[in-house]
Structure 1
Amino acid sequence: MRKSILTLGIAAVLTGVLATCSMAYAADDELAQIQESGKLKVGVEGTYPPYTYHDDNGELTGFDVEVAKAIADKLGVEADFTESDWDSLLAGIDSGRLDTVINAVSITPEREEKYDFAGPYFYITQQIVVAKDNDDIVDMASLDGKKVANTATTAYLDILEDAGASLVQISTADEAVSLIESGRADFTTFNSVVFNEYLQQHPDANLKVAFVIPDVVDTYAVPIKKGETALYDAIQNAIDELKEDGTLSKLSEDYFGTDFTQPQDENAATTDTASEDATTESTDEN
């Protein structure tokens, strides 16, 4: 009887040890699972040109789509894309439905609490966009008491709320523009390429750039669930190689006409972007 109890005790201990080891293995072996499946599960919006969108043939394309494919290739797998609204994308990483999101994801302190960010691989400024007849909004101080149309998870919500603005929640850039044109919101945020893309598709849009958010250069990176160190290292190495061999620079030149993959001086970036005509700017939801 005592032997049976001892045997059961040892078995229980061994089971616990194996379970702990299995949990540790699973927590830090996402890369092995990805390579075994042959797929890197990537979340994108698919409605955010020129980063992720559908071409005239209905094919998913864009700068970030090509970046994701290049990273997956470095890992020896294919990129498997899942499209969703922006506000639900990062939750896909939390649930395990996605391995990562490559869709103009900004690094923020709040996000860094949950994810490790490989990169950055993209640097860009942000603008405040208003209706053409709006001359009240000219700087950060003038945002006090105004309404901003943006997503609830935008990287700039804290900055805008600190300036006194209140959020009118939207899901897409089209919704933000509609709210501004109807007077239900006063402004939104666009980065310096997305607004340009929007105006090319909507040349009659009643919008203009009021000013560039000062002292800010937005950085896009690849979020990885904390603890997945092997996957993080592999993606970071892939990004480093894609920078070194010129792949990222070429993709940026192809999609934007300039190289946004190199760090920018905040003051120089602000000056350069502010000097552009208002018809060459865009909305950053992320």
Structure 2
Amino acid sequence: MKTQLRLMALALGAVLSLSNFAAAADNTLAELRAKGDIRIANTQASPPWSFINDQNKPDGYDVAMATEIAKRIGIPHITFVADTFKNFVEGLKTDKYDLVMNDLTPTPEREKQVDFSEPYGVEEFRIYVLDSNKDIHEQPDLAGKKVGATAGTTNESWSREHLTESDILAYDNGGLVFNDLSTGRIDAVISSYFGGERYRKANNLPIKAVGQPLTYQLSAAAIPKGHSSLKAAIDQAIQSMIADGTVAKLSQKYIGPDYQMVADIAKAKAEVK
């Protein structure tokens, strides 16, 4: 019996040693540094997080964060890859890109397939309706209504889980969902407050946010499983950017001068725990 226990302990020790060796041996970061380029995916159609600016270049909070993180981890160039939320996880798994940075929430389902960095963003989600709408004020009022959300986002998954009496329509393009709301094709949209306000102001849409926030969600960089050296470097970069005021500066630039990103990240992390 003692011999069997000893053999089992040795086998377990060997497995743990191999696991530790694999983590220590990951050279993803070194390979990216040698290459001098990192491929980072975002939608380029979900302001203020990522969008195409007047110079026809990717811009937004996530783009600015990605640019600063790449610099801090020693990679001089970024190739931004446009894709949709519903493709992000599969894109990482198939090596379509090295990283996703576009207001992506670390959900349990996603965490089974990819790793996530320390959070660098947080936002609240609200109900948007037409200015002329007098019937929808809070979540219960959405029963029997057509509700739009961007496909593959936590907006969509939350809506399908919590709005079981509503007709949920998923849109690949975050802008089209607001266009359909403004023309009356759907009754409401579930969206981040920042994204909704950006679309409303930029396109002069006759829409408004109603009710209290439905939920709060953290966002983080998504990384392929096993790329431990890359994840560790990104985590360190994010922590340093929070500490030196860079996160606060970029969030105030892209989201609003009164938004307290760092304080709200801390509050949201405490709620998650």
Same fold (TM over 0.5): yes
Identity of aligned residues (%): 27
Residue 26 of structure 1 and its aligned partner are, at CA, apart by 11
Give 4+ residue runs of structure 1 displaced > 6 Å after superposition.
none
| Closer/same/farther in 2, CA of residues 153 and 85 from structure 1, 3 Å limit | closer
In structure 2, what is the equivalent of residue 247 of structure 1? 246
Report whether the alignment pairs 1:178 with 2:176. Answer: no
Residue 103 of structure 1 and its aligned partner are, at CA, apart by 1.0
Q: In terms of Rg, which structure is larger?
A: 1
CA–CA distance in structure 1, aligned partners of residues 156 and 196 of structure 2 = 19
Q: How does 1:42-121 map to 2 (within 5 A)?
A: 42-77=40-75, 78-121=77-120
CA–CA distance in structure 1, aligned partners of residues 81 and 225 of structure 2 = 21
3-state SS, counterpart of residue 193 of structure 1? helix
Residue 234 of structure 1 and its aligned partner are, at CA, apart by 1.1
| Closer/same/farther in 2, CA of residues 206 and 264 from structure 1, 3 Å limit | farther
Q: How does 1:203-218 map to 2 (within 5 A)?
A: 203=204, 205-214=205-214, 216-218=215-217
CA contact (8 A) 1:129 1:211 kept: no
| Closer/same/farther in 2, CA of residues 90 and 26 from structure 1, 3 Å limit | farther
In structure 2, what is the equivalent of residue 31 of structure 1? 29
3-state SS, counterpart of residue 211 of structure 1? strand
| Closer/same/farther in 2, CA of residues 27 and 208 from structure 1, 3 Å limit | farther
CA–CA distance in structure 2, aligned partners of residues 178 and 223 of structure 1 = 29
CA–CA distance in structure 2, aligned partners of residues 265 and 230 of structure 1 = 28
In structure 2, what is the equivalent of residue 15 of structure 1? none
Comparing 111-120 with 168-177, greater Cα deviation is found at 168-177
CA–CA distance in structure 2, aligned partners of residues 194 and 101 of structure 1 = 18
| Closer/same/farther in 2, CA of residues 213 and 166 from structure 1, 3 Å limit | farther
Return the letter of the residue paired with 1:38.
Answer: G
CA–CA distance in structure 1, aligned partners of residues 36 and 23 of structure 2 = 19
Residue 34 of structure 1 and its aligned partner are, at CA, apart by 1.1
In structure 2, what is the equivalent of residue 124 of structure 1? 123
CA–CA distance in structure 2, aligned partners of residues 148 and 26 of structure 1 = 47
Q: How does 1:209-228 map to 2 (within 5 A)?
A: 209-214=209-214, 216-228=215-227
Deviations 1:167-207 (A, max 9, x none): 2121223311232234332211222222222122122x121
CA contact (8 A) 1:129 1:207 kept: yes
CA–CA distance in structure 2, aligned partners of residues 210 and 107 of structure 1 = 26
In structure 2, what is the equivalent of residue 143 of structure 1? 142
CA–CA distance in structure 1, aligned partners of residues 196 and 25 of structure 2 = 40
Residue 90 of structure 1 and its aligned partner are, at CA, apart by 3.0
Residue 65 of structure 1 and its aligned partner are, at CA, apart by 0.8
CA contact (8 A) 1:87 1:151 kept: no
Deviations 1:257-278 (A, max 9, x none): 1332332647xxxxxxxxxxxx
TM-score by length of 1: 0.77
CA–CA distance in structure 2, aligned partners of residues 80 and 261 of structure 1 = 27
Superposition RMSD in Å = 2.4
In structure 1, what is the equivalent of residue 199 of structure 2? 198
CA contact (8 A) 1:143 1:160 kept: no
CA contact (8 A) 2:89 2:114 kept: no
CA contact (8 A) 1:217 1:264 kept: no
| Closer/same/farther in 2, CA of residues 49 and 157 from structure 1, 3 Å limit | closer
Return the letter of the residue paired with 1:180.
Answer: L
